[in-house]
Amino acid sequence: MNRSTSASWLKVMAGAATLSLALTACGSESDTEANEDPTDSASASASESTDAAAFTNDECGTDTTSKDTFKVGGILPLTGNLAYLGPPEISGVGLAVSEINAAGGVNGVDACHMIEDSGDSTDMSVSTASAGNMVAAKPSVVIGAASSSVSLNFVDTLTDNKIVQISPANTAVDLSGYSDYFFRTAPPDGIQGNALGTLIATDGYKKIAFLVFNDTYGTGLRNATQAAIENAGGEVVYGGKGDGDEFPAGQTTFSAEVTAALNSSPDAIVILAFDETKAIVPELAAQGWDMEKTYFSDGNTADYGEDFEAGTLEGAQGTIPGADPEAVPGFKDNLIGWYDSAEGETLKDFAYGPESYDAVMLAALAAVRGGDTTSVTIQKNLAAVSGAEKGAEECATYEECVELLEADKEIQYTGPSGIGPINAKNDPSSAFIGIYTFNADNKNELTGSVEGKS
């Protein structure tokens, strides 16, 4: 099934305004109250922020393996055009491991983490080397990568060695059901594309131009967004599917692309790129484009306070998969606290921090359910602890979930990412998409969210 048209929308929260989302479903549709908290079940039992002294940075020793340790690997962007996502993802992993150890570990053994660099799609040798290091290290699970193209570069290596990979940020449709050992806690692009396209249509724009890089993530999300725009009666006037207007990843000048896009007389422009965005935005502004009519996605909806002149992006909007990290009391503070404790720096971006945290927690709970910390056992039990089994009882913390598992109960872990149970394609069956608006300081602020079901 084409997942770009298979999302049914459950909840809409966009400030005082309500998005009208009429999308085709692969099953039944249902509506809920627009002002319902997206993480009520998690909030009810989540702990408040932890004292700074309680944070631990539990790095793996060289002699550990998944046979005697819950060993969490990470292939995450320490460098490259998604390096801004590294800190929140690393913090999510580190915080989860710290909390697991504070609760007694996994099946009586300690948890630890080891982080390798994923780099980006302009130099795949970085992630290739990191994947090789992971195979040699024999982890219980690998968290990453942030880029879908990068994951596609090494997913076969991990699968061939029966190592579970859980990406907190991959959204490419090509990865749905790709491998029995590949899972993700971020939704496929069909959900985000429908949200972004519907947002644009609801704002009243009919003629849309895309500035999109030639990357699995970029083209896949473009296709899903384009479908939503066209289903709402709009048209794509530049950069659409099959037009051949994509630019290569890593490009640094965009005068020709911006001129061509503006010559198509669009009502709005969608930028689907990573670090290239820092060169595209100034070119659009220089050519007189009204930046309020610009839309971004999770690859570039970030804090540009230090990159652009104040007010450059004011009023522009973007989307990021994931629930509001502030919806669970204390969670955002704990992400900040762990990163400060471990790295001595202040965490500024939070995208995919909750998804990274939940990826570790799901893997740990799968190990508890299966009785050991090996990757093969985690693979067999991961969907079950996410709520895929009938009669599963909801639980929001590691300790609470372990108690239920030890009482021979089936569980549905409901963590801060707000995702639903893992489905047959190893994707979240539902997920939230945050809607962000840029303020006068070029910082993205959460202004609403929608929940989609795949």
Number of folded domains that form the chain: 2
Residues 297, 440 share a domain: yes
Residues 299, 395 share a domain: no
Local confidence pLDDT in tens for the 454 residues of the chain: 232 333 333 333 333 233 333 332 233 333 333 334 444 444 343 445 666 568 999 999 999 999 999 999 999 999 998 999 999 999 999 999 999 999 999 999 999 999 999 999 999 999 999 999 999 999 999 999 999 999 999 999 999 999 999 999 999 999 999 999 999 999 999 999 999 999 999 999 999 999 999 999 999 999 999 999 999 999 999 999 999 999 999 999 999 999 999 999 999 999 999 999 999 999 999 999 999 999 999 999 999 999 999 999 999 999 999 888 888 899 999 999 999 999 999 998 899 999 999 999 999 999 999 999 999 999 999 999 999 999 999 999 999 999 999 999 999 999 999 999 999 999 999 999 999 999 999 999 999 998 887 7
Calpha distance 273→178 (Å, rounded): 24
Give the residue among 433, 347, 438 at the shortest CA–CA distance from 14: 433
Per the document, the length of the chain is: 454
Residues 246, 131 share a domain: no
Instruction: Provide the whole-model pTM.
Output: 0.83
Residues 340, 206 share a domain: no
Residues 203, 316 share a domain: yes
CATH of the domain at 249: 3.40.50.2300
Give the residue among 412, 404, 360 at the shortest CA–CA distance from 94: 360
Task: Determine, yes or no, domain membership for 29.
Answer: no
Structural domain boundaries, residue 303: 3-17+189-321+432-453
For strand 235-238 and strand 207-212, is the pairing parallel, antiparallel, or unpaired? Answer: parallel
Q: What angle do CA 34, 37, 42 make, to 5 degrees?
A: 150
Single-letter code of the amino acid located at 341: S
Instruction: For residue range 143-165, list pLDDT tens digits in order.
Output: 999 999 999 999 999 999 999 99
